[in-house]
Amino acid sequence: MTTTPALSQLKFDNQFLSLPADPLTGSSRRHVLSACYSYVEPTHVVNPTLVSYSHEVATQLGISIEECTSATFTQVFSGNQLLPGMKPYAQCYGGHQFGNWAGQLGDGRAINLGEVFTPSSEHLTLQLKGAGATPYSRTADGLAVLRSSVREFLCSEAMHHLGVPTTRALSLVTTGEDVVRDMFYDGRPQKEPGAIVCRVAPSFLRFGSFELFSARGDIDSLKTLVDFTIKTHFSHLGEPSVEVYLKWFAEISDRTINMVVDWMRVGFVHGVMNTDNMSILGLTIDYGPYGWLEDYDPTWTPNTTDASGRRYRFANQASIAQWNLAQLANALYPLIEQAAPLRKILSDYVPNYNQKISAMRAAKLGLIDYNHELYQGLDSLLQLAETDMTIFYRRLANVDIENDTLNDAQLFAPLMEAYYSPEALSSEDKQQLYLWLRQYQQVVLSEGSSNDTRKENMNKVNPKYVLRNYLAQLAIDDAEKGDFSLVNTLLELLRHPYDEQAENETYATKRPDWARDRPGCSMLSCSS
């Protein structure tokens, strides 16, 4: 097939390249000083094959569906072919990992192809993940395996359709080459199929992009990058000045809060909230050992590396985000030189978060006003026995609040489906649940909302379909055998997570028992 026009007409303007560049090119591992990025080309792969693409992202970029299935598309988004205007580079950044400063990290396996203006005048960066070594690959290979690429591809699109701020994914290709990974770091390395995802976002800058310059005392480069970021991505705040830096930091804090509140709403656990994985735009970024809460356990973390400290557990995400913002504040301090206003923004984080999470929790319950006692009551009841968070909230909308002839068990009946082992509920547990439901009924009635409006509103915030850990694993199992149909089915399913989709009911069911302790379903390592 020949190159179709629009793909070659993607308009690249590469604004990031106006920032200081590493004078060296190529992928030799090095410390890069006083530069925001290094030029480096993707590594050629032997046999790229298209697994899937997101037609919404393609359309957004001005790439037609026909082009997505062209040979050129696969060549370009496997890194084998550069389009005119593409100038590939890897970004330099640092980060705090698990609470400790880790120094220079950088795009170890991400290569930015360039930045485009879309037909609707958005400005987006195209980035390949897994396209080979860069100066920032340290001791690793710059590659990505199919399993982690399927997870990143599907989850970024699923999150977008759930209404969670996120980087997007345009495409997923296999490379035709094997990648060796010791998945559980237990001395059993295995060959796995290699893959590349093309990620898309207005910017891939991270908290760690700013921290690195500050940690090195390179305040000139810090200022250059901050001013660029404000002018390019936060121009509504005005020309960079100390006052604008503070407004900017407050906005980053707000956006981060919005993102975390959404994670808490849908039951998403990022798994590695290191500062190098925190987007300056408040987008969910770097889908690694993330997971979805199935049974509601606020202490759960999917990341095996985090199993002992559980730093990144579900319930800790808001505090960690604040801790990460504090690291960013420290990094920005040399430009502001006033601790008090930075501290004020950091302490405002708590009431701001509380206000937003309360509104979100009220919405999940179908309430107009947040009722703390009611929410807290439910939070502990959901932990009495293994209760599927997604099913519980979705089904709560079906509880018939208006019918005062129902007995407790009848009122509760729609919720039984959420229990992994209903027999594990003691009669005392049930009494507590009934009591809660009666309180809930009263509060709902006192707000005067009908069954119908409550259900309609709740179904807009409580998804029916999420990328359950075992669903992603099933898609991976098939994909590793060369069958990509489930990847595509899930991509399509998760485009409408709030719709009933009666024909897809099976994807809304509880995690099956085989998946309870299976690697990839309940435990994930950083190896990817």
> Judged by CB under 6 A, does residue 43 bind ligand AMP?
no
Find the catalytic residue in 22, 107, 262, 276.
Answer: 276
Taking the C-alpha atoms of residue 313 and residue 319, their distance in angstroms, rounded to an integer, is: 10
Contact track, ligand AMP, 262-281, x by CB under 6 A: ----------x---xx----
Helix axes 372-381, 427-447, angle to 10 degrees: 150
CB of 176 to ligand AMP, least distance (A): 18
* Of the candidates 282, 457, 265, 447, the residue with the CA atom closest to the CA atom of residue 357: 265
Q: Does 193 bind ligand AMP (CB under 6 A)?
A: no
Exactly one of 148, 277, 304, 525 binds Mg ion (CB under 5 A); that residue is 277
Q: How far is the CB of 4 from Mg ion (least distance, A)?
A: 34
Rg (CA), the chain: 24
The binder of ligand AMP chosen from 96, 109, 265, 361 (CB under 6 A): 109
Active site residue 276: yes
Q: Which residue is nearest to ligand AMP (CB)?
A: 108
Select the binding partner of residue 109 from ligand AMP, Mg ion, none (C-beta < 5 to 8 A, by kind). Answer: ligand AMP
Our CB check for Mg ion shows the closer of 10 and 259 to be 259
Residues 6+ apart with CB under 8 A from 39: 21, 22, 25, 87, 88, 89
377-to-88, 342, 373, 386, 395 alpha-carbon distances in Å: 53, 35, 6, 16, 18
Of 184, 43, 23, 152, nearest in space to 92 by CA: 23
Q: Locate tokens 């298209």: which residue?
A: 50
Burial zone of 453 (CB within 10 Å; 0-12 exposed, 13-18 middle, 19+ buried): exposed
Q: Which stretch binds Mg ion (CB under 5 A): 278-286, 426-434, 500-508, 509-517?
A: 278-286
What letters, b where the CB count within 10 A reaches 16 and e where it falls short, cover 238-266?
eebeeebbbbbbbbbbbbbbbbbbbbbbb
Q: Which is nearer to ligand AMP, 277 or 371 (CB)?
A: 277
125 lies in the site for Mg ion, by CB under 5 A: no
Minimum distance, C-beta of residue 194 to ligand AMP, in the bound complex (Å)? 10
Q: How far is the CB of 204 from ligand AMP (least distance, A)?
A: 11
Nearer to ligand AMP among residue 73 and residue 213 (C-beta): 213
Angstrom distance (rounded) from CA 499 to CA 522:
26
CA distance 498 to 505: 12
As a whole number of angstroms, the distance between CA 418 and CA 398 comes to 13
Residue closer to ligand AMP, measured from CB, 132 or 497: 132
Cβ neighbours around 236 below 10 Å, total: 8
Binding mask 130-169 for ligand AMP (x = CB under 6 A): ------xx--xxxx--------------------------
Which one of Mg ion, ligand AMP, none interacts with residue 142, CB within 5 to 8 A by kind? ligand AMP
Q: How far is the CB of 95 from ligand AMP (least distance, A)?
A: 7
The entry of Mg ion, ligand AMP, none near residue 89 (CB within 5 to 8 angstroms by kind) is none
Q: Are 440 and 458 in contact (CB under 8 A)?
A: no
Q: Catalytic site residues?
A: 276
- Which residues contact ligand AMP by CB under 6 A? 105-109, 136-137, 140-143, 272, 276-277, 286, 288, 526
